[in-house]
Amino acid sequence: MNKMLLLLAFIAFGINVNAQSTTLKMSPGAIAFGLFSGCYEKVISDKTSFQLTGLAYFGFGDYEGTGFGGSAGFRMYLTKKEAPRGFYLMPQTGVIFGESATAVGIGSDFGYQWIWESGFVLDIAIGPNYYFKLGNDINTDFEGFITGIVLGVGYAW
């Protein structure tokens, strides 16, 4: 019994001393524009991680309609800090399904991610993205370059 308690304590201690390797984030500012976005990031080495993002669009202002989509990115952390902290470059690709068109995109983000001891995450990034519209709907102008701006908040463990 004592050996089992010692093993459980060792495992729990080991989990606590390791750096955070997973983050969940959302973009609260985007909600004001009818866009809900959530991100899952998982560290895969000292300097790299992958990120999956899901989004839903509920229309705002001149842009009526709804849509959903997702993207996948590979983050390369450029500072001496271990992933998922510090400056990063993230090439990514994604797809958006709208009511009148579907678009496939490629791009990259350059940003910085902070993680506090409490687990609070702040992620700020900017980057170019290019979307290719699939289909022939001439009423949809969702094609071309879009500057992506990220302000994500969340939790890391």
pLDDT tens, residue by residue, 72-118: 999 999 999 999 999 999 999 999 998 877 899 999 999 999 999 99
Enclosing domain of residue 49:
19-156
Q: Is residue 151 part of a domain?
A: yes
| CATH of residue 147 | 2.40.160
Please state, in angstroms and rounded to a whole number, the distance separating the CA atoms of residues 23 and 155: 6
Q: Is residue 94 part of a domain?
A: yes
Q: Is residue 10 part of a domain?
A: no
Q: Is residue 93 part of a domain?
A: yes
For residue 149, the one-letter residue type is: I
Q: Is residue 126 part of a domain?
A: yes
Residue 128: asked if its preceding bond is cis (omega within 30°), the reply is no
- The count of structural domains within the chain is 1
Flag whether the pTM goes above 0.75.
yes
Q: Is residue 150 part of a domain?
A: yes
Q: Is residue 2 part of a domain?
A: no
